[in-house]
Homo-oligomer: A and B are copies of this chain.
């Protein structure tokens, strides 16, 4: 299948993906696959204005009806799963299975959001005053800007958009400039769905901003964008947070992870090996939840590492479009350089590195294929505190579970974490208030691959936002506390007397 056919199967027309100034290269072989028109500042301003107009209308559409739109979106995504999954693979380089998984995640969150659309529960609350009723309700908030990263080009948008739309908020999507094609393809699906839905879906409910960073900054700067949900690096997150603080706007930040696994003495090593490999090399180490640090009990370390290096040595590297591939390319040369530098630093900090280095150079001279690396470190050194977006897995030893947790929590990021252990005392300790300080903490599964039913995100440098399941939807609504006096008296709270 030609690249062009992949684009066309995903619903894009030649006119849409050619002739513009933004060159899109596939990491599969580095070739240019599209040249997109970018939005100007004034077009972006018009999008914001359009979205606010849409908001006025959309907030009056009952939430269960808004849910129906998302149900139709889910249905359409089911139909387009293969086509869209393949485009994900082409554009960001993750293997096709993961491309499909990403679309499945979109579908799952749609199902979840449809159910939510008849809930959006606030509370009725006991009032201390006779003849008074108290309650809280959740109302649509306003326009929601969604800034996404290249590594998950579509799912995080959908986590945000499915909830935002059900909550009554129009969405403006600023995808990574590296992966705008999937965004355009999804946008076309959305437009088709809106048409099917009928007249009460206003114009400009879904919009995409194609372009560079300054378009994202426009979203964070504008008073007319009530919420900005951003996925990306910690520096990007700080910039967004700073811009939003100036105007006291609301953010949902999902930034970097530096995710670890503790492998305890009682761990099922067979399962641990499989989990480690998938978590560390899946998406070529470019998931925000990628496993980056291995904290291994000293008495199993010497069993585990050889099994891992052996497994690593057999992993099929290749085009992510090929069925047997498990490791596709990095997104670009810059990523490969960062990996190389990190490996150098690891070595200089005393590490012994297995693997690493460029792969398939002959076959794909313009792409960034690498051998995944395992770096055995004498202790948790400086490089291990950084998130390098590449398949490098650092390993250190520990003696006691308390020590393991201390190592675990000593990095600035706080996204995901896990322990492999069959000992409930260790596992519950890890999940307790003195255990992992991450937003996600798993037992006997890797740190990546969250289900959409839970809230996704983490504290510390990860930014504190939560997306997807649980009550993450509250991030897209405004809460209102109501007290209704239906008596003919006017008692004050706290029993204050004030007689005029």
Contact = CB atoms under 8 A, between A and B. Distances in A.
Interface in A442-500: 442-445, 449-456, 459-464, 466, 469-470, 478-488, 490, 492-498, 500
A282 to B, nearest CB: 6
B241 A127 contact: no
Given A122-B123, A268-B488, A481-B456, A450 B245 contact: no
A439 interface: yes
B498 A119 contact: no
A431 interface: yes
Contact of A424 (B62, B126, B427): B427
Contacts of A271: 488, 490
Interface stretch (A4-12, A248-256, A290-298, A356-364): A248-256
Interface string A90-115: 00000001101110110010011111
A500 B311 contact: yes
Contact of A445 (B423, B459, B485): B485
A67 interface: yes
A234 B25 CA distance: 46
B480 A441 contact: yes
B97 A433 contact: no
A112 B128 CA distance: 12
Nearest to A114: B111
Interface stretch (A28-36, A41-49, A180-188, A272-280): A272-280
Contacts of A481: 439-441, 450, 454-456, 470
A122 to B, nearest CB: 4
Interface in A62-83: 62-65, 67, 71
Given A425-B422, A481-B439, A124 B130 contact: no
A326 B500 contact: yes
Interface string A325-338: 01000000000000
Contacts of A469: 118, 125
Contacts of A133: 137, 428, 431-432
A121 B124 contact: yes
Contact of A101 (B431, B453, B496): B496
Interface string A232-272: 00100110011011101010010100000000000010010
A177 interface: no
Nearest to A484: B443
| Count of chain copies | 4
A218 interface: no
A402 interface: no
A63 B125 CA distance: 10
A126 B115 contact: no
Q: Which of A100, A125, A255, A456 has the most CB of B within 10 A?
A: A125
Nearest to A461: B248
B483 A454 contact: yes
Contact of A248 (B250, B460, B500): B460
A497 B325 CA distance: 12
A140 interface: yes
A155 to B, nearest CB: 9
A213 interface: no
Contact of A124 (B123, B242, B315, B452): B123
A436 interface: yes
A241 B248 contact: yes
Given A248-B460, A282-B498, A422-B424, 4 more contacts: A62-B126, A128-B451, A444-B485, A451-B483
25 contacts: A59-B434, A61-B130, A62-B127, A64-B126, A98-B496, A98-B498, A105-B493, A115-B116, A118-B126, A120-B125, A123-B124, A125-B469, A134-B454, A248-B463, A278-B500, A311-B500, A423-B424, A427-B486, A428-B484, A431-B484, A436-B480, A440-B481, A442-B485, A449-B493, A456-B481
- Considering the complex of A and B, which 6 residue pairs feature the smallest CB-CB distances, nearest first? A115-B115, A428-B486, A241-B245, A63-B126, A122-B124, A454-B481
Interface of A: 59-65, 67, 71, 97-98, 100-102, 104-105, 108, 111-130, 132-141, 168, 234, 237-238, 241-242, 244-246, 248, 250, 253, 255, 268, 271, 274-275, 277-278, 282, 311, 314-315, 326, 421-425, 427-429, 431-434, 436-445, 449-456, 459-464, 466, 469-470, 478-488, 490, 492-498, 500
